[in-house]
Amino acid sequence: MTRLSTDGFWICLASLPAAGAGLLFLWAVIRLRRSPGARDTLALMPAHWRAYLAWNALLALLLAAFTLLNHWLNRPVPEWMQQVFDTAGSPTLLVLAIVLMAPLFEEVLFRGFLFRSWLPSRLGASGTVFLTTLVWTAIHIQYAPYELAQVFAVGLLLGTARVRTGSLFVPLSMHALMNLAATVEMALTPP
């Protein structure tokens, strides 16, 4: 079981149908709740191209700061991440699972469905961003506390982008960019 937790090929094969099933389940819940529809419930509204550019630039700055801090603190890429990359077998499969499907499912769930469900509550926008970020961070149990702090910081930025733009597509693009950057970092890390 331990070996499978870092086997990139099996992680990709498991995550693709799991993300697809999760998306279908959320769609069914939205339909059964007689919500206003997926477009409104999930904020499936495009944003202006400047919003994508600005928020992804902010993310790139944050990731660059993390990279410099990691270098300064001598914190390499976590070993389990490198093992996942090295055992994925197919770069296409890895990109499909890690860069496309994982961000799609996670953003639809956290900054789409849960965000919309909690926003009208007493939590308001700030509380909703905090709570969705906290739960999103908690699902990333494979990381050490140091990396979880970085995940939490990124989650706050993703949630803020969701509030400010009113669109799920902006944090989705940011999440995909972050996972792409991590994948490229693993590819460039010498064995």
Residue 2, phi then psi, degrees to nearest 5:
-60, -40
Q: What is the pLDDT of residue 18?
A: 94
Per-residue pLDDT at 29 exceeds 90: no
Q: What is the pLDDT of residue 191?
A: 67
Domain residue spans of the chain: 4-188
Q: Tell me the average pLDDT of the chain.
A: 92
**How confident is the model over 34-58, as a mean pLDDT?**
89
Predicted confidence band at 50 (pLDDT cuts at 50, 70, 90)?
Answer: very high
Rounded to whole angstroms, the Cα distance separating 22 from 25 reads: 5
Rounded to whole angstroms, the Cα distance separating 26 from 97 reads: 19
**How confident is the model over 7-12, as a mean pLDDT?**
88
Per-residue pLDDT at 161 exceeds 60: yes
Rounded to whole angstroms, the Cα distance separating 164 from 154 reads: 15
**pLDDT tens digits for range 75-131:** 988 888 888 899 998 889 999 999 999 999 999 999 999 999 999 999 999 999 999
Q: What is the pLDDT of residue 2?
A: 53
Under a CB-based contact definition with an 8 Å cutoff, are residues 158 and 111 in contact?
yes
